[in-house]
Amino acid sequence: MPFECPQCQVKNSLQILTTLELGPAAGADETMIQLTECSHCEFQALAIYQESRGGALEGEAFSHQGYPLAKEQFQLLTDLFRVCPDGFKRMCGCQAHQELARHAALQDWVAFSQKNPFTMKLAPRSGHHAP
Ligand SMILES: [Zn+2]
Ligand SMILES: [Zn+2]
């Protein structure tokens, strides 16, 4: 599902290339780490999708933040994601899952991106937010 690119602002241009599911981390019931790239301007970012169900919150609460990546960082993460045999397997013990789970627990994405995070935006038409 494509998102709006924060750099060129073209709707539906920011594509999710790979997803790695982590499951529960840092208080969220669901955590997904995604690599995204704009098909228009080649902007690249790491996206973190987190969802919490129940608890004190009514219904479902989620956040979907993007962290702009430099070319080298994007390449580094692409290589790391490739280590994983199955990105949708939460209990996977591969190096990629372990390393990203460590960052997720600390909410530490600055290690990959020095730039300000942005909110992942879907084109208004769809009205439903899901990764
Ligand atoms: Zn763009
Ligand atoms: Zn894995």
Render pLDDT for 96-128 as a digit per residue (tens, 0 to 9). 999 999 999 988 888 888 889 999 998 765 445
Does a structural domain hold residue 129? no
Q: How many angstroms is it from 40 CA to the middle of ligand 2?
A: 30
Does a structural domain hold residue 24? yes
Does a structural domain hold residue 9? no
Q: How many angstroms is it from 92 CA to the middle of ligand 2?
A: 4
pLDDT given at position 100? 95
pTM of the predicted model as reported, rounded to 2 decimal places: 0.86
Q: How many angstroms is it from 3 CA to the middle of ligand 1?
A: 10
- Could you give the C-alpha distances from 54 to 21, 46, 60, 61, 105, in angstroms and in order? 20, 27, 7, 9, 20
CA distance 131 to 124: 15
Does a structural domain hold residue 33? yes
22, 100 contact by CB (below 8 A): yes
Does a structural domain hold residue 2? no
Does a structural domain hold residue 131? no
Total number of domains in the chain? 1
Range of the domain at 18: 14-122
Q: How many angstroms is it from 11 CA to the middle of ligand 2?
A: 31
Which residues fall inside 5 Å of ion ligand 2, going by CB? Answer: 84, 92, 94, 97
**How does DSSP classify residue 58?**
S
